[in-house]
A and B are shown apart, each in its own frame.
Chain A
Amino acid sequence: MATADLRSTEKPAYKVIGTRPVRHDGVDKVTGRAQYGADVRLTGMLHAAMLRSPYAHATVKNIDTSKAEAVPGVRAVVTSADLPDHGDRMVELGEGAVNMRHLATNVLAGDKVLYKGHAVAAVAADDVHTAREAVKLIEVEYELLEPVLDVRQAMEPTAPVLNDDVRTQSVGGADPGDDAKPTNVAKHILFEKGNAAEAFETAHLVVEREFHTATVHQGYIEPHNATAVWNADGKVTVYTSTQGSFTVRQQTAELLRIPVSDVKVVPMEIGGGFGGKISVYLQPVAVLLSRKSGRPVKLVMDRADVFEATGPTPGSYIRVKLGVSEEGKLVAGDAYLAYEAGAYPGSPVGPGCMCIFSCYDFPTARVEGFDVCVNKPRTNAYRAPGSTNACFAVDTVMDELAAKLGIDPAEFRLMNAAEEGTRRVDGPVYNRIGMVETVEAIKQSEHYNSPLEGPNRGRGIATGFWFNAGLNSSVSATVNLDGTVSLVEGSTDIGGTRTSIAMQFAETLGITAEAVKPAVVDTDSVGYTDVTGGSRVTFATGIAAVEAAKDVMAQLVERAALVWGCSADDVTYSDGAAHGPNGENLHFDEIAERLNTTGGPVIGSGTCSGVNQSGAFGTHCVDVEVDPDTGKVQILRYTVAQDAGTAIHPDYVEGQMQGGAVQGIGWALNEEYWYDGEGSMRNATFLDYRIPTCYDVPMIETIIVEVPDPNHPYGVRGVGEVPICPPPAAIANAVHQAVGVRMQQLPMSPPRVLAEILKK
Chain B
Amino acid sequence: MDYGNEVGKILENIEKVMIGKEREVTLSLVALLADGHVLLEDVPGVGKTMMVRALSKSLNCDFKRIQFTPDLLPSDVTGVSIYNPKEMVFEFRSGPIFGDIVLADEINRTSPKTQSALLEAMEEMNVTVDGMTKSLQKPFFVMATQNPVDYEGTYPLPEAQLDRFLMKLSMGYPNEADELEMLNRTDREHPIDEIEAVINKEQLLNMQKEVDSLYVDNTVKRYIVQLVSETRKSPYVQLGVSPRGSISLMKAAKAYAYIQKRDYVIPDDIVYLAPYVLSHRVILRPEARYEGVTQSSLITRILEEIDVPVRKELHG
Q: Do A and B assemble together?
A: no
Chain A residues at the B interface, C-beta cutoff of 8 Å: none
